[in-house]
Chain A
Amino acid sequence: AQSVTQPDIHITVSEGASLELRCNYSYGATPYLFWYVQSPGQGLQLLLKYFSGDTLVQGIKGFEAEFKRSQSSFNLRKPSVHWSDAAEYFCAVVGKISSGSARQLTFGSGTQLTVLP
């Protein structure tokens, strides 16, 4: 079964500083990986995804992530954080079918990002 680990429950950075959110996955085959962001009281917005090809993927809002198969990681980065980036970030992997005909999206437990002025 697939799983996702986000080791950092909460991260605090100053506005303008760089950011890296960690994500490790466990999946037997080539994973499909996603990063979603959730602002308070809101749904999940897709930041970026990796299916295949170039291991460095660009997303919206200036985010990027790098897939490293040897480390089973898919870390999210941003060179300069803005106050509006404060939110919860979820890494997710699509893995095997758990029931029926659609594949299950497995989420990590999330990383809460606080941005200091």
Chain B
Amino acid sequence: DAMVIQNPRYQVTQFGKPVTLSCSQTLNHNVMYWYQQKSSQAPKLLFHYYDKDFNNEADTPDNFQSRRPNTSFCFLDIRSPGLGDAAMYLCATSRAKGRETQYFGPGTRLLVL
């Protein structure tokens, strides 16, 4: 089945130690998104790629970076994780720009010690 895959499902890192989260998709969608979701809150968009075009939300901290080496993969890099970055990170895809349905992966739960 076509799907959005996130690895790992759980990630533990230390305060200040860089960490990378991975997302892959078999839907061949052009747009990939990264969301941060803290406990009991709605997902918050960090950034998205439309093909290779990177778009950062205005309030996304500089500590968060992203890479999309090809259509199928997208990575979220947290350069110096703080305790406040502990959250669920959700990857989503959509077929195109515009009013398209977004399909979500299962998420990666990040714990910062």
Contacts and interface: CB of A to CB of B under 8 A. Distances in A.
B71 to A, nearest CB: 15
A43 B42 contact: no
Interface residues of B, number: 33
B50 interface: yes
Interface in B48-98: 48, 50, 53-58, 88, 90, 92, 94, 97-98
A103 B90 CA distance: 17
Residue picked from A51, A90, A103, most chain B C-beta under 10 Å:
A103
B5 to A, nearest CB: 10
A44 B94 CA distance: 14
Interface string A100-112: 1111110111101
B48 A43 contact: no
Contacts of B55: 99-102
Interface string B21-33: 0000000000101
Given A94-B100, A102-B94, 19 more contacts: A32-B99, A42-B107, A43-B107, A44-B104, A46-B103, A90-B43, A98-B57, A98-B58, A100-B53, A101-B55, A101-B97, A102-B97, A102-B98, A103-B97, A104-B45, A105-B102, A107-B42, A108-B42, A110-B41
Interface of A: 32, 34, 36, 41-46, 49, 51, 90, 94, 98-105, 107-110, 112
